Amino acid sequence: MPKIKYAILLMLFLLPALAPALEPPTDVKLTDAPNDDGSIVIMEWQPSPSENEPGFMGYNIERSMLPNDSFQMIAWVPKGAVEHEDNSVEAIGRNHYYKVVAINQNGDSAVSAVAGPIATTQSWFNTGKLNTLFGTFLFIAITLLYIYWARKGKLFIRRISGLDAVEEAIGRATEMGRPILYCNGIGLIDSISTVASLNILGQVAKKTAEYDTPLTVPTADPVVHAVAREMVKEGYKSVGRPDLFKEDSVYFITQDQMGYAAALAGIMVREKPATNFFMGYYAAESLVLAESGAATGAIQIAGTDQISQLPFFITACDYTLIGEELYAASAYLSKEPLLVGSLKGQDACKLIIILFVLLGTLAALIFRSDLIYSLFSIH
């Protein structure tokens, strides 16, 4: 009996030694990522032959600035991975060394050969954005060309019913002796749709000043509030009616999305504005606002570039400016040749984009080349 016991103990002791040893990944290659600020190294390797064995977990990525010492783990990738992007390099231009360590469930590890050195460099021009640069120059050139033509003569722009209705809506409020509510949305000043909304507010303020119609502008952002107040004030001043501007007509409410919606719904129900404008950036509160306004019987004009909110505005408002129409509003309402010229330039560029999309689709279908895909990709 003791002999059998000893034999079992010996087997248990020798069993791990008999199991196949964990093998390391091989052929670790390092590349300095192009078009970056020098913080990215791209790693590629051949997977460990032990990957298919049970208990294999993945790889630890280790980095050091010395070839034989001070390696520290910087990332872990699961089995199956054959590449990793280290985007935490801080010392640009200094040598870095890497190791890939295979790990299994027993805690065994197998270390690859040290790869490197590699020293990253920072790029001073992102060649992946060459197509964007070309597009930007083309767009600027076309827009400036149309502005030049607009200065020379009148350019035709298609009718936008939502903008034609602005004057009608202001007139209606004047006749009814009720105020106009203008909402800039919940966007911050760095949102271009908010800037476009403020541009329209300037035009609306001029018209309300001419007709002596009360204008209420509750805002959801402190900076937007400051700009909106100046724009309304200047609008009244520009038509020679600074005396009609009331300081408390433009006021801040809250930055809280649903708090803003609740406050506006309350204003609509209590003050019953004849016209509601919803221009700018909107999220889930769009339907609360538009439906509350529709329930009070107000004429409603909305405009946003948030595609997910457009169906709600289209359903609940009388007129909706869809996407680009919001940006065209300022030019359309002011009829300034310079602004109208830029609008025509925008249309011409849209035509060019349609042509590029058609050509690109055809080229991709016929040639199936990576070059075609890269021409239309932005990195």
Partner 1 sequence: MKKNIPMAIVFVLGVAFIIQFFIPSRPSQVAFNTMIEWDLIIYVFASVIAVDSLVRHHILKISRKSRGWGYSLVYLGAAVFMILAAVFSGTREGSFYMKVFNYALAPMQATMFAILAFYMASASYRAFRAKSTEATMLLISAFIVMLGLIPQGAAIWSGLPKLSEWLMLVPNMAAKRGITFGIGLGITATSLKIILGIERNWMGGH
Q: Which is nearer to partner 1, 62 or 325 (CB)?
A: 325
What's the distance, Cα to Cα, between the start and end of the chain in Å? 73
Smallest gap from Cβ 38 to partner 1, in A, equals 6
Binding flag, residue 271, partner 1 (CB under 8 A): yes
**DSSP label at 112?**
P
Binding flag, residue 16, partner 1 (CB under 8 A): no
Smallest gap from Cβ 125 to partner 1, in A, equals 6
Site for partner 1 in 219-238 (CB under 8 A): 219, 221-223, 225-227, 229-231, 233-235, 237-238
Smallest gap from Cβ 151 to partner 1, in A, equals 11
Which of 50, 104, 112, 203 touches partner 1 by CB under 8 A? 203
Binding flag, residue 161, partner 1 (CB under 8 A): no
Binding flag, residue 256, partner 1 (CB under 8 A): yes
With b meaning 16 or more CB within 10 Å and e meaning fewer, what string describes 202-239?
Answer: bbbbbbbbbbebbbbbbbbbeebbebbbebbbebbbee
Site for partner 1 in 58-97 (CB under 8 A): 92
Phi, psi of 75 (to 5 degrees): -165, 160
Binding flag, residue 244, partner 1 (CB under 8 A): no
Number of residues this chain uses to bind partner 1 (CB under 8 A): 88
Helices 337-367 and 324-334: crossing angle in degrees, nearest 10, is 150
Residue with the two structure tokens 């803003």: 260
Binding flag, residue 160, partner 1 (CB under 8 A): no
Binding flag, residue 38, partner 1 (CB under 8 A): yes
Smallest gap from Cβ 168 to partner 1, in A, equals 21
Binding flag, residue 322, partner 1 (CB under 8 A): yes
Binding flag, residue 283, partner 1 (CB under 8 A): no
Which of 212, 243, 247, 370 touches partner 1 by CB under 8 A? 247
Q: Using CB under 8 A, which of the segments 159-167, 176-184, 336-344, 364-372 binds partner 1?
A: 336-344
Long-range pairs for 285-292 at CB < 8 Å and ≥24 separation? 285/186, 285/257, 285/258, 285/260, 285/261, 286/312, 286/313, 287/312, 287/316, 288/258, 288/261, 288/262, 289/183, 289/261, 289/264, 289/265, 290/315, 290/316, 290/317, 291/316, 292/264, 292/265, 292/268
CA 322/CA 134 separation, integer angstroms: 28
Smallest gap from Cβ 9 to partner 1, in A, equals 56
Q: Which is nearer to partner 1, 48 or 304 (CB)?
A: 304
Binding flag, residue 252, partner 1 (CB under 8 A): yes
Which of 117, 171, 323, 360 touches partner 1 by CB under 8 A? 323
Binding flag, residue 43, partner 1 (CB under 8 A): no
Q: Which is nearer to partner 1, 46 or 126 (CB)?
A: 126
Long-range pairs for 139-143 at CB < 8 Å and ≥24 separation? 139/345, 139/349, 142/345, 142/348, 142/349, 142/352, 143/341, 143/342, 143/345, 143/346, 143/349
Which of 133, 141, 359, 362 touches partner 1 by CB under 8 A? 133
CA 334/CA 339 separation, integer angstroms: 8
Classify the C-alpha dihedral 111-116-119-125 as positive or negative. Answer: negative
Binding flag, residue 46, partner 1 (CB under 8 A): no
Site for partner 1 in 92-121 (CB under 8 A): 92
Binding flag, residue 125, partner 1 (CB under 8 A): yes
Q: Using CB under 8 A, which of the segments 57-65, 125-133, 168-176, 365-373 binds partner 1?
A: 125-133
Q: Which helix (H) or strand (E) holds 77?
A: strand 72-78
Best CA proximity match to 197, nearest among 170, 217, 171: 217
Which of 145, 324, 360, 364 touches partner 1 by CB under 8 A? 324
